């Protein structure tokens, strides 16, 4: 059973390519200001922010204000969360079949962080 499950899991590239086909998800981009913020802080700090945001906003079984807990602007990770459908438990369930009303495991949290960081890395090359 574990083998079948892992066989059916999509890669980060597959997930990002699928998200690009969504008009809403593909509309997000990094501004010059956000690019400068990324350069100033560095990848390690941004990844730590992503880990913190995922833990605070998504990891609990019943996140506070679920569906409205992630701002649309104000941090590159917030944009990445919306662009990758990792902004609330409803989107995680719809796009990735992550169960509702169940705490996220450390592994699930790290997969989300890796997806967020991959989106940010892709978008750093296409700054508007």
The 10s digit of each residue's pLDDT in 15-29 is 999 999 999 999 999
The answer, yes or no, to whether residue 6 has pLDDT greater than 50, is: no
What number of H helices and E strands is found in the chain? 7, 0
- With contact defined as beta carbons under 8 Å apart, do 25 and 93 qualify? no
Q: According to the model, what pLDDT value does residue 8 have? A: 57
Return d(Cα 122, Cα 117) in angstroms, integer: 9
For residues 111 and 52, what is the distance between their CA atoms, to the nearest angstrom? 14
**Statement: residue 2 has pLDDT above 50:** no
> Could you read off the pLDDT of 32-65 as tens digits, one per residue?
999 999 999 999 999 999 999 999 999 999 998 8
Confidence at residue 9, expressed as pLDDT on a 0 to 100 scale: 72
Instruction: Name the percent of the chain lying above pLDDT 90.
Output: 82
For residue 126, what pLDDT is reported?
57
Quick check: 91 and 115 in contact, CB under 8 A? no
């Amino acid at each position: 059973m574990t083998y079948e499950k892992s066989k059916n899991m999509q890669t980060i590239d597959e997930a990002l390519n699928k998200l690009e086909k969504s008009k809403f998800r593909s509309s997000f981009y990094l501004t010059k200001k956000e690019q400068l913020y990324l350069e100033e802080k560095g990848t390690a700090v941004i990844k730590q922010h992503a880990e913190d945001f995922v833990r605070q906003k998504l990891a609990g079984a019943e996140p506070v204000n679920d569906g409205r807990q992630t701002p649309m602007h104000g941090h590159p990770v917030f944009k990445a969360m919306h662009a990758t459908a990792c902004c609330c438990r409803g989107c995680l369930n719809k796009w990735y079949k992550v169960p509702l009303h169940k705490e996220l495991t450390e592994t699930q949290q790290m997969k989300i962080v890796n997806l967020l960081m991959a989106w940010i890395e892709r978008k750093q090359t296409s700054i508007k």
